[in-house]
Structure 1
């Protein structure tokens, strides 16, 4: 089983996606059996995200794929070239402000870290590895499209519809940018770090675990999409600039698949 999942990354991706969902659902239902007033959006989101991250990390460690998908130190020491992308969480924080209690912040940070680890391992780790044999363009676009589509599910669990649709757009775009970031660094850690910072700011601003019922203006949602588009352009520029090192790194590893 272990060797089969190692060789068939797409199957591993599906197993982890559905497996973590089942574990998370059963955990929530079990807790709500004792206290029905608790909800994922307000109370249990941090626990669900932590479980998701644990499942994803345990899966890649079990099949011994963790280092191969990028759970290693970045190859590039030029970490400072990615500092401009922090304009996105900075702009988000300035626009939304801070609407949470300090006692709730630790749980929001746990949730943000859980989301970052879970989603980066799944989409920029397992799925990216499975798609690389089909070419770099496919490996950048397909996992990112699925990443964006996965966020549409927030609409069905109480999220604002307009926010959900725009979230699909910017997560698709940001997913491609994060994939370029992962390829350029040959590591998932910078992508996890940026993802964590962005979600931590968003969660602290709204006081919610990523499934928003509050209304966002059309203008602000458009600005966020444009900021992520600028992130993508910058990320692709850096990836192209470092194409030689990429071809001798992860590209060479993926060739045997």
Structure 2
């Protein structure tokens, strides 16, 4: 079974995707059977994300592809600080939304942010990217990212504002492509996980919600955030191209020696 899943990355992705969903759903239903007033949006989001993150992490450790998908440190400090300009996105988010959480709620919001970052990066930029990369970098950047964006449309089913969810599909698709380029350039998932955590931590702290927003936001703000993620994508592709060119130069130099 382990060898089969190692060789068939798409099957592994589907098994983990469905498996973590079932485990999370059973956990929520079990808790709600004791207290029906608890909801995913306001009360149990942190638990769901923790379950998801734990499931995907244990899965890649069990199949032994954790290092292969990039759960290791980047080779140099430069591969961390080159992404500092991308922090304009969470900073803009903080400026626009402010801070609307109680101090007692912050630990749960941070747990949720860690869970989302670990879960989504391992699942989409780890397992799925590894499975699709043999089809070429362009396909590997675009296809998993569109699936990543589509997955966020599911928030409509649990109470998200429809307009917000549609814009969220757009910027998570752009951000997914940018994060994929980040992983390919660094050969590590950790910078992507850290950036994802910072972004979600600020978003959750600003809204007091676990990523499912029923509040209506202005089209102006939604558009600005969409454009920021498009800029993030263009910057990431530039870094990836530069990294690839440097690697090719090193390879030619070594070959000529």
SS at match of 2:66: coil
Partner residue, 1:217: 218
User: How far 1:81 sits from its partner (Å)?
Assistant: 1.4
Contact persistence 1:69–1:188 (CA under 8 A):
yes
Contact persistence 1:76–1:185 (CA under 8 A):
no
Q: CA RMSD in A?
A: 1.3
Contact persistence 1:57–1:121 (CA under 8 A):
yes
Partner residue, 2:203: 202
User: How far 1:104 sits from its partner (Å)?
Assistant: 0.1
SS at match of 1:104: helix
Which whole-Å CA distance do the structure 1 matches of 2:13 and 2:247 have between them? 24
Partner residue, 2:20: 20
User: How far 1:80 sits from its partner (Å)?
Assistant: 1.4
User: How far 1:247 sits from its partner (Å)?
Assistant: 6.5
SS at match of 2:104: coil
Deviation digits for residues 173-211 of structure 1 (CA, Å, limit 9, x no counterpart): 000000010011100000000000000000000000000
1:237 matched to 2:209: no
Q: How does 1:168-207 map to 2 (within 5 A)?
A: 168-207=169-208
Runs of 4+ with >2 A deviation:
244-248
Which whole-Å CA distance do the structure 2 matches of 1:29 and 1:247 have between them? 52
How does the TM-score come out when normalised to structure 1?
0.95
Which whole-Å CA distance do the structure 1 matches of 2:201 and 2:74 have between them? 22
- Gaps of at least 5 residues in structure 1 are 249-257
User: How far 1:77 sits from its partner (Å)?
Assistant: 2.4
Q: How does 1:40-51 map to 2 (within 5 A)?
A: 40-51=40-51
Distance 1:246 1:184, change over 3 A: farther
1:148 matched to 2:149: yes
Which whole-Å CA distance do the structure 2 matches of 1:215 and 1:93 have between them? 17
- Gaps of at least 5 residues in structure 2 are 250-257
Aligned pairs, number: 249
Q: How does 1:1-257 map to 2 (within 5 A)?
A: 1-78=1-78, 79-244=80-245
Which whole-Å CA distance do the structure 1 matches of 2:104 and 2:59 have between them? 32
User: How far 1:246 sits from its partner (Å)?
Assistant: 5.7
Which whole-Å CA distance do the structure 1 matches of 2:197 and 2:134 have between them? 29
How does the TM-score come out when normalised to structure 2?
0.95
Distance 1:143 1:43, change over 3 A: same
Distance 1:246 1:149, change over 3 A: farther
